[in-house]
Amino acid sequence: MKFVRILSLLLAVLIAPCMIASAPADIEQAYKAEKAKVDQTLKDKKAKINKTLKEKRAQFKEARQKRLEAAKAKAAKTPTVEKKAKIPKAVKAPKKAALDKTAKTSSVDKITKETKFDKKSKAAKDVTKEETPVVKVVQRAPDIKTLETKTVIQGEPFMIKRPASPNFGRTWKLHKELPIQIEMVGKEKFVPAEHPGRNEGTTVFTFKGLKAGKTQLEFEKVYPKEIRDKKPAKIRIIPIEIKETDTKK
C-alpha cells in the first residue's frame, strides 16, 4: 500500500506541471479564435456599408443625369420667340397723335381735379378756422409783497432764508441783479428741516453790505415746469438798511 501511495504521489508531481503549462496555452488559443471571429464580423459589416454607399451614389448620379436630360429635352421642344416686325413710320404717326391727344386730355382733367381739390381744401380750412376756438392766454397779475426791513452792518455777511422744497421743484432765486451796495458771498444752499412739514427745508442766501445806505433785494419763487404757466409770479421784496457800525453796541 505504501508503494502505491508513493507511486501516485510521483505521478501527481510529474503530471501537475504539464497540466498547469497547458492551461494558458488553451486560453490563448481560445482568445485568438474569438478575436478572429470578431474581426471577421467587423470586416463583413464594413464591406456591406461600403457596398450600400456605392449603390446610393450610383443611384443619385443616375437620377441627376435623368433630370439633366429631361431639362435639355424640354428646352429643345420650347419654341423660340420670334422678333417683332418693325412697324412702318406711316402706321406709327396716327398712334403717336392719338397718344398726344390722350396726354392733353389727361393733363386738362388733372388741372380740373387739382382746382376742385384746392377749392375743397380751402373750404375745409375755412370751416376749421371757424370751428377752432381761440384760446386766450390769461396773464395773471404777479403776487408782489414787501417784507420787513432787515438791518445789517457794513462789511459783515448776512443771510436771507426762504422756505423751499427742491424735490418738488419749488425754490427761490434772485428776481433782479444785485444793487451796487450788496454783493453775494458764495452760492445759495439748501438746508433740510429737522421736522419737514409743508416745506422740506430752507434755501439760504448769503450777502455782504459794501456801502452804508438803504436798498432792497428781490426774490422770485420757482415752480415746477408743469404748473409754471398756471401760477402767478410770486415776488418778495426785502428792504435792506446797511449801517456803518452796530448801534446796539
Domain identity same for 149 and 122? no
Question: What pLDDT shows up at residue 5?
Answer: 73
Domain identity same for 126 and 213? no
What CA–CA distance (Å, rounded) separates 66 from 36? Answer: 45
Domain identity same for 147 and 233? yes
Question: What pLDDT shows up at residue 26?
Answer: 80
pLDDT category of residue 132 using cuts at 50, 70 and 90: low
Query: For the ranges 11-20, 156-165, 180-189, which has the lowest average pLDDT?
Result: 11-20
Over residues 67-82, mean pLDDT: 78
Residue 84 included in any domain: no
Most confident among 8-22, 95-109, 148-162, 234-248 (mean pLDDT): 148-162
What CA–CA distance (Å, rounded) separates 158 from 150? Answer: 10
Q: What domain range is 54 assigned to?
A: 1-77
Query: For the ranges 117-121, 139-143, 200-204, which has the lowest average pLDDT?
Result: 117-121
Residue 85 included in any domain: no
Q: How many CB atoms lie within 10 A of CB 166?
A: 14
**CATH at 219:** 2.60.40.2020
DSSP string over 66-79 = HHHHHHHHHHHHSP
Question: What pLDDT shows up at residue 249?
Answer: 47
Contact call for residues 158 and 150 (beta carbons, < 8 A): yes
Residue 211 included in any domain: yes
Domain identity same for 220 and 157? yes
pTM (predicted TM-score): 0.42
Residue 231 included in any domain: yes
What share of the chain has pLDDT > 70, as a percent?
A: 68
Question: What pLDDT shows up at residue 28?
Answer: 83
Domain count, the chain: 3
